[in-house]
Copies of this chain bind each other. A is one copy, B any other.
Amino acid sequence: MNTQPARGMRDILPMDARRRGYVVSIIKDVYERYGFEPLETPAIENIETLTGKYGEEAGGLVFKILKRGAEGKASGVADLALRYDLTVPLARVVAEYKDRLPKFFKRFQIQPVYRAERPGRGRFREFYQCDVDAIGSTSPLVEAEILTAACECYARLGFKDFFIKLNHRGVLMALLDAAKVASELHSDALTAIDKLDKIGREGVMSEMSGRGIKDESARRLLELLDALAHTGSEDVKSFNRIALERLVEFIGDNDAGAQGVENLRRILELCESAGIGERIKVDASLARGLSYYTGAIMEASVPDLTSSIGGGGRYDNLIGMFSKEQIPACGFSIGLERILLVMTEREMFPAEVERGSSAQVMVAIWNDESAGESLRLASELRNEGLRVEVYPNADKLGKQFKYAASREVNFVVVIGDEERATGEVAVKDLRVGEQIRVKRESVAEEIKTRLRNVG
Residues of A within 8 A of B (CB): 1-6, 9-14, 17-18, 20-21, 32-35, 37-46, 48-49, 63-66, 68, 72-78, 80, 82, 92-93, 95-97, 100-104, 106-107, 112, 114, 116, 125-126, 134, 136-137, 139, 141-142, 144-145, 148, 152, 269-270, 272-275, 321-323, 357-359, 362, 365, 371-373, 375-376, 378-379, 382, 385-393, 403, 406-407
Contact = CB atoms under 8 A, between A and B. Distances in A.
B141 A375 contact: yes
A63 B65 contact: yes
6 contacts: A2-B46, A4-B96, A10-B42, A37-B357, A63-B68, A274-B378
Contact of A388 (B34, B96, B100, B137): B34
A11 B35 contact: no
B375 A34 contact: no
Contact of A371 (B3, B13, B148, B270): B270
A164 to B, nearest CB: 16
A392 B42 contact: no
Contacts of A78: 66
B270 A372 contact: yes
A387 B3 contact: no
B35 A17 contact: no
A35 B101 contact: no
Given A3-B323, A96-B4, A134-B392, A101 B13 contact: yes
Give 3 closest A-B pairs by Cβ, nearest first: A76-B76, A273-B372, A35-B389
A142 B389 CA distance: 11
Contacts of A275: 376, 379
A387 B35 contact: yes
B375 A125 contact: no
A35 B388 contact: yes
Given A35-B357, A37-B358, A136-B392, 4 more contacts: A3-B323, A35-B362, A63-B68, A65-B82
A93 B11 contact: yes
Given A13-B101, A112-B43, A393 B66 contact: no
A59 to B, nearest CB: 13
A359 B65 CA distance: 39
A126 B43 contact: yes
A392 B104 contact: yes
Contact of A11 (B37, B42, B72): B42
Contacts of A72: 64, 76
Nearest to A273: B372
Contacts of A12: 38-41
Contacts of A126: 42-44
A420 B15 CA distance: 50
B43 A274 contact: no
Nearest to A104: B392
A321 B2 CA distance: 11
Contacts of A82: 43-44, 65
Nearest to A6: B46
A420 to B, nearest CB: 13
A321 B46 CA distance: 35
Contacts of A403: 102-104
Contacts of A134: 392
A275 B406 CA distance: 30
A322 to B, nearest CB: 5
Nearest to A76: B76
A359 to B, nearest CB: 4
Nearest to A389: B35
A375 B66 contact: no
Given A3-B95, A393-B139, A359 B103 contact: no
Contacts of A136: 392
B114 A44 contact: yes
Given A12-B39, A392-B137, A406 B102 contact: yes
Given A3-B96, A75-B76, A392-B142, A14 B38 contact: yes
A388 B33 contact: yes
A68 B358 CA distance: 40
B3 A92 contact: yes
